[in-house]
Structure 1
Amino acid sequence: MKDEKLVIKEKYSKYWPTVAVLSLILSLVIFVSYHFIDNVLWIGYLRLAAFAFFAVALLSFFKVYDGQVELTVLVDEEFFKSTYKVRNEIIFESEQPRSDFHQIKTDQLPNKSIYNDFMMNDKCVRFQKKDENAWYYFNEIESRVIPLSEENANTLRDFLKMYSEA
């Protein structure tokens, strides 16, 4: 069998850099403006808003700094070999026997943060091993499930189904 390969990317918004910059600017403007206010109540509100926008800017900057994860799945005679890259640097690799894949499905991301309450269209791929009831995440890096668009998740699911021994 000739080695087959699939390359897909994490669902990633192009708006993260804009959100980071705008939040930082708003944070600075609000921070400076509260120094010119005499009302104690408004000072408290403005300080809280400045802190909130600074937190959003910081978290958005980290998202931009992390970059988009690229998942490459390579199929050989016995294994699915997964390579996860960010900016062409390998951050994680795994190997799973093709015989482990009994059932494969596209599912919603696990609800581990408030982000998942708002972004319910993010998908992941899960599989079940033979003689087990548990479902495992395929697109997972050290307990972090990589969000995929529905199209990429379905492509990955179909690719795994095509080459698994299920």
Structure 2
Amino acid sequence: MRNTHSRVTPPHSMDGYTRDKFDIWGTQPDGCTTRQDVLARDGKNVQDKPDHCQPASGSWYSAYDDTTTAVAKATIDHMVPLAEAWRSGAYIWSTDRRKAFGNDLKAPGRSSRRSLRTRRSPTAGRPTGSQPTTLSGAPTPRTTPASSRSGR
């Protein structure tokens, strides 16, 4: 039986899109930025700079290229690229809704860690175009390990 109630529409254009419209890396309730909280949450042996949220040391695993990297080379990205969200309807969202989307720490797989090498290689396309893989080449589950900053 064919579903006659749903239809596929072409993606919206990129007219008006900038990453700034999502106000990414906003301040979280703990006083740190979203980026800093993701690095602390997903890193191993993370130590912040004294009196600061920015990690000074630790390591982060990137499932995109099966590497572990230090803080200087770790980067954070959205599992659903902001450009894809824009093309899929975020262009009609309120400023507050786009900010909430760009800074959400609770949605599973919302943010991911990548090495700088893989962060620079994927396009801002659909999430399936740049999924992390295991060594066998199979897509990895979209989960993030639980860890937290001490003292927060």
Q: If you compute each CA radius of gyration, which structure gives the higher value, 1 or 2?
A: 1
Structure number having the greater strand percentage? 1
| Structure with higher RCO (Cα < 8 A, 6+ apart) | 2
Q: TM-score, normalised by structure 2?
A: 0.22
Q: TM-score, normalised by structure 1?
A: 0.21
Structure number having the greater helix percentage? 1
